[in-house]
Amino acid sequence: MNKTIYPLLIAQFLSAFADNAILFTVIALVMQSTHLATWYVPALQSVFLIAFVVFAPWVGAFADNHAKSKVLIIANLVKASGAGLLLLNIEPLIAYCLVGTGAAIYSPAKYGILPELADKESLVKANSWIEGSTILAILLGMVIGAKVADYSIQYALIGTIIIYVISALVSLLLPKKISKHAEPGSKVILFFQQIRLFFTTPRSRFAILGASIFWATAATVRVVIIAWAPLILMTQNASDIAELTLFLAIGIVVGSALVPHLIPLDFLSRARIPAYLMALFIIALSFTDTIWTARAALFAIGLAGGMFIVPINAALQELGQESIGSGGAVALQGFFQNVAMLVAVGSYTYAASQQVNPVMALAALGSLVFIATFLVSLHLPENKTK
């Protein structure tokens, strides 16, 4: 691997830290506001995701047609602007949507630059490092962000803006390589042509749809816990929920570290096994009613999820580099996974507005993940040579 992966790790750590600090700052803002309804948090998650779907035809090409280091800088500044709007007391749904726009720009460049820094043999390891550092940032971002936000929303937002700017400055150390030149014609038409091309093999279909299952599941578990924990575990504030979610993130770190030794890139089909386990552990979480059993279940969900998503990300980057461009493949992945997240979180938002019990929501989610994994695994070859 190229040694310039280290600035990427630092820049990604800082940006992911700020992403999760601002999320729990917004959660604290909602929990401290008596006039906001229970559906407001999942609604915030939904507006964050909309940008990934709306801008998908453009952000992948933007990442591939420009130096990805510059794209990372632009994305961080857009996210910092969203945090600035929150600081100015602009409607949180609007401000958080702008943060989501920055994240939509950031994602193809973050993952798309990896094949430029690591060869095929090191790609799973590089993804493991990125996932591990990202989850560590999530751990610290949500815990520290929640604690600072419980003390002062204003201080939390100022700190988040500063961290986004530092991440942008670190990105200046990354190579300024353009992976492909812009193709003529409509970006929307080109995007749907890329979808058709990318869905021609079982491996690429499984990678795209498997990533969609993982992220839809992760987003839904996170918003369900916000309603489930106060009801079942009697949690009181954003810090309590952040500390509970900590175990989910620790599990993903451990799973991300273990997976390079267990699921080589040429045996992608093995990734379906931890996906099935993730579904079963979500169902198990719905039966827990004590803090430590809940923590154990969340850790197990994260462990299985980390082992599921890392090889899928590596396969997407390899397949993209060989066909439509790594940035384009990540943007395509972002489109599908965020459509899935919008459907999942939107469905839960509606269910919450109809007073559906979060315990039932968790059990239903686990069952749906198990069924979806079975369906997307059909016709998947055992190894790359088949």
Burial level of 93, CB count in 10 A (0-12/13-18/19+)? middle
Q: Which of 76-85, 239-248, 355-364 has the lowest mean pLDDT?
A: 239-248
> For the chain, first and last CA: distance in Å?
28
pLDDT at 240: 81
Task: Walk me through the domains of the chain, giving residue ranges and CATH numbers.
Answer: 5-172+186-377 (1.20.1250.20)
Could you give the CA distance from residue 210 to residue 156 in angstroms, rounded to a whole number? Answer: 34
Helices (H), 113-237: 114-117, 120-151, 153-170, 187-198, 202-232
Q: Quick one: tokens of 333?
A: 């992945």
Whether the pLDDT of residue 385 is over 70: the answer is no
The pLDDT of residue 300 is 95
The confidence score (pLDDT) of residue 337 equals 81
| Token pair recorded at residue 285 | 């979480």
149-153 LR contacts (CB < 8 Å, sep 24+): 149/21, 149/24, 149/25, 149/27, 149/28, 149/29, 149/238, 150/28, 150/237, 150/238, 150/239, 153/25, 153/28, 153/29, 153/32
Confidence of residue 78 (pLDDT cuts 50, 70, 90): very high
What is the spatial distance between Cα 153 and Cα 335, in angstroms, rounded to a whole number?
32
Residue with tokens 């795209």: 208
pLDDT of residue 99: 93
Per residue in 19-63, pLDDT tens?
989 988 988 887 777 666 667 777 887 888 888 788 877 877 787
pLDDT at position 201 over 80: no
Q: Which DSSP category does 382 fall into? A: S
Question: Is the pLDDT score of 323 beyond 60?
Answer: yes
Whole-number pLDDT of residue 44: 82
According to the model, what pLDDT value does residue 173 have?
Answer: 86
Where is mean pLDDT largest: 106-115, 302-311, 350-359?
302-311
Q: Residue 175: what are its φ and ψ, rounded to 5°?
A: -65, 150
- Inform me whether the pLDDT recorded for 182 exceeds 60: no
Asked if 187 and 54 touch (Cβ cutoff 8 Å), the reply is no
Residue type, 210: G
Outline where DSSP puts E strands in the chain: none
Mean pLDDT across the chain: 82
**Residues 294-313: tens digit of each pLDDT:** 999 999 999 999 888 888 87
Q: Which pLDDT score, from 0 to 100, does residue 348 have?
A: 86
pLDDT confidence of residue 13: 92
Q: Is a pLDDT exceeding 80 seen at residue 152?
A: yes
Amino acid, res. 148: V
Q: What is the CA angle 56-57-60, rounded to 5?
A: 75
Predicted confidence (pLDDT) at residue 179 exceeds the cutoff of 60: no
Residue 322 has pLDDT above 80, yes or no: no
Of residues 120 and 375, which shows the higher confidence score? 375
pTM for this one?
0.70
Residue 163 has a pLDDT of 96
Structural element, H or E, at residue 238: helix 238-262
- Residue 115's pLDDT is 72
Given a cut of 90, is residue 285 above it in pLDDT? yes
Q: Which of 6-10, 50-54, 112-116, 185-189 has the highest mean predicted lDDT (pLDDT)?
A: 6-10
* Structure confidence by residue, pLDDT tens digits, 366-380: 999 999 999 888 766
Q: How far apart are CA 366 and CA 358, in angstroms?
A: 12
